[in-house]
Each structure stands twice: as C-alpha cells, then as structure tokens.
Chain A
C-alpha cells in the first residue's frame, strides 16, 4: 500500500503555501511526461521493432511448425457490488468491467530461445483510470547451460509471504486491478541469470520506470483524498528515465529456500504528499524517491509447516533508514473430516520499524487466514484473510474463492471489507468501499 507522509497537517500547510510553484511544477511534469513517452517509444522502439519482426516472422512463416507459436489467454467479465453508497458523490456505484489477456509464445533453437508476448487490456464502466492497457510481457529469452538472458518487457516475482509482498520490487504494482498487490505492470529489463552449483545470481538492468496505477476520481475502493497521478513527482531529475539496477542470489539447502536481493533505483511505492491541485481540490501526490534496498526472503518447508520470512532494509525514502518484515507460518491439515479436503492455517505478523509513524497500512499488524482446498476435479478453493492492526484494531477482511466450470471457464468470487479505520488513515478513505465481486473468465 502507498505511504502517506507524516505529519499530515504540516504537509498540507506547506503544500498550500507552495501552490503556485507546485502548479508550475505540474506544468513541467506534464511536459516531461509527454517527452518521456516519446523517449520511451524511442528507447524501446528499436527493440520492439525487432521483436515484432521476429514474432511476425514466426506467426506468418508459411508451413513452419518449428516456429509456429501458440496462443492462449483469457477473456473476463467482472461485476463489483458495493452495498454502501460512496464516501464521495463522484465515486461510482455497482460496477461492470471486462478484461482480456492474450498470450503468444514461440520457441526455437530446441527450446533454448523463445519470445513471449502478453498484452493486457481492461475496460471499466465507472473508473476511467481502471480502463487501461499494458504490455505485461514482450521479451526474448535465451537459455544456455549455465546462464539465461532475458531482454524486453518482463515480469519477475520474489518472495514467500501471503499477506503482503515486501521483497517483490522489480515490477510496479497495477493497483487499479486489485488491492492485493499481485497484479503487476510490465517492466523493461535486461536480466542475466548465472546458474551455478551454489545457486542462481540474477542481475538486472531496468531501463525505464513504470508509475503505479491508482483508482481515479470515480474509482472505488480508493483513498480520501484521492491520489492525483497527473502531479507525480520524482526525486531523480531523469524521472521515468532513471535506470535502476538489481541483483539477487537465490538458492536452497535442504528444506530451506532463500533469496538475498539488492535494489538501487526509483522506489516502486511512492510517498504520498497531500497538496491542493489547480482546481483547489486536496489530493495526494505520488512522490517517487531513489532508494537502496537490501532484502532477504526465506522459507523453511518442514513437514506440514511452512515457515516464512521477508525482511527489507531501505534507505532513501523519507529522512531515515528503516527495516520492515513480514513473517509467519502456514500449517496444512491434510485430508480433514476424513475427506480429500485440505485446510491451511496461516498466521503472519507485519512489522515496520518506523512504528505508528510508518507511512504504511502495515506497521504492526497480524494476519490470520485459512486456505480451504477441496482437491476436486473443478479445483475449488477458498481463501480467507483477516489483517488486524495491533495498535488501532482497524481490520481488512478478504475472501477469495474460485472453481472451474467445464474445461474452459472459471468462476471467482471475492469480497473485501474495511472496518474500524481511524480518521485520517489510508484505510479510512475506504470505509464505505466494502465490495463483493463476481468474475467469470473464459480461457482459450
């Protein structure tokens, strides 16, 4: 979740004083943003052209079976019902949305080289910011005996815990998709993996930064005040052109899987600065700082117990260095009630060194959850998660369930509720945004 910089009141006063200069700043930023898109287009243009040419060749090659790629993907319809009226009249009510994510894959060189293309698009009835498109993946991969090279737009996941994903930093979160932080925007990257007996070292050059998406004026759930992405600020003078770097060593020894990572570059989660925009509306500005982050993720798989830890140390965001961690366990009861059902019990503690002043939802929280897996032909499952703030007792409850229908359809249900949020907190803005979501997806 995004961070609100404290102290709130002082920031607003300062922002009001600086309205004029901020507005100028807005102008400058919007110009810069246009220039940036041109720059993005230029810098990835050549690469893209080559990919496109290659993939077209692959697609259109007459009679080629070796290069004939395969298509897969899904089309999905989603309905969100909000039982309560919105906190702010501009926000929408019940909402319909459609999305599509086709995927093209082709390989050659005996499977050692491949191209993956995954575009994504969503149309949303109520929120213009949620109507968006992205290239999730468009990359070329070359795999050799002891190294792999990936060039293009890709997606990388690091981490082990369920309640939040502290360590996962390569890709920006596409947070208009879902609050769980698991939907990601495609990240331009050059990734070199060196595969050795003592583990894998991944080296990343990340040219180009993706801004986090946030719910628009009409969007729900969203913060109050809203986050105005037209006013985005960067610490780096190169803004979205800043080149970020990352390295990771991952390995496993016996029952222990671990990863040690380092990241230098533009923080994926912005600090949110309250200000007044040109229309006199109080909004939050995403401010992206340059950070250095070391992290560890660790899982011990000991029989029915999975023990998990993610911890980070970050400098460069705000005026102090800090550590944060998520840790806990998942214990699985196999075959409960003398059936083939499994029940997983999850407990995680979420902690941030900055304590109550931490500009995060999860400074000192406990997550308890249950994962119910039927192990049936339709892959039915249900996941319940409750995150409780240990200080103010505010609560977020989420329920996610899904099952397959026939061979190609999948029905998912999701509910989120926000309760007990104290005034002024990020969660308080979502107090009326409890929702129930039904999603039906067709896979092809």
Chain B
C-alpha cells in the first residue's frame, strides 16, 4: 500500500511537528509513505472566498503530485474535504476522481482503512477534543449533535486507545471554534468571540491539552490561549497518537 502524504501548506510552514508525527505514525502502522515535494495548497482559501475559479492550477498541481498513490492521507479534515468536494480537472478527470475517492483524513484512514484497534502510545493528560466542523459534519468523522442518530467518533475512538488520556466532557460538544478560513480576519470580532467561548469550555472542564483533527482550528485557539497566557496547550491528534514514538526517539 503506497500512501501519498498530503501536508497542507500552513502545517508545512508553521506546524512541521504535525507533519512529522503524521508521517511517523503511518510508518509505524506499516504504511509505505511518500511526501511528494511539489505540493503546496489544496486551494481552499481561494474557493471559500468565492474564487474557486482561481484554483485550477492548484488542482492540476495536486493531481500531478498525488495521482499515483493508492491512498492520499492528510492531517486536516478541512483540506481533505475541500479536495473530496471540489478537485476537478477537465484535462485529468480520471485522476481527479481517483484522488477524490482515495483521499482520507488521518483518523478516518486509521479507523476505516487500516482498521487500527490498538496503539502503543502513552499520554497521561487531561485532553479536550475539539470536533472540527469540516471533518465532523463534512467527512462524518463523528456523529453530529444536531442529528437524532447513534453517537460515534473516530478521533475519540483512537484517543481512547492511548494510555493515560483522560478525555474531558464539554458543555457544547461540537460548536464551531470560529476559525472559518478568511472569516477569521474578515469577521474578526465574531471569530475571536467564538474562539474564546470554545477555549473557555475546554478550560472550564479542566483540559490541559486541546486536541483535534484540524490544525487551522487549533492555530486559532492557540492564538487566543497564548494571548490569554493560559497554560493550556494545543496539539494535533497525530502528535498524541504518536507520543510514544517521540519518547523512544528522544531516549
């Protein structure tokens, strides 16, 4: 199984540790992983701003980088959803379709494709799980509180395999954090207020670390936490699931 590692641009530039954890975790679970060096961005920032027509070159580039893999896996529900919903190229539609059908967000790849049932990771900490909307409602990584339907959560399922993780309950289990792409600057006041409220819910319930499947949401909440000088940290779920490996590597 050849896996193409899709590392979204802002993770590549600002959160390399998330890319490293994702790569190591997949390798540890027996995947043959490659990171195509020519990748940049999925095109979502333009598309969500109403400029989907400017994403053609990003699409072509994405197809060029990922067409030859059995699976494409990325540590971001939002970027994966964008590709799943919007990757098209009249010149390479077969390849585009292959990618749309074979791209997975990291946690769903672990639970649905690799069917991971146990992990050797250890992370003794009180953890708050932020359900990022695009992963949750777009990719159905977890049941949505609005629907009358049986609960499930792929990220939570994985976190429960990590020794020592104590998941804290939240008052609002799946409220949006307010990042929203360019929304975070164009609607700064509402975006920040949403973020403050989301962070407060985690803090109120004693979370020491806020984790999630999207670094964009985490980056937004981290910015607020750091401004508040709160001691709470944010970590991508890959960093927690991969925790053990880090410790071994350091020792």
A and B: partners?
A: no
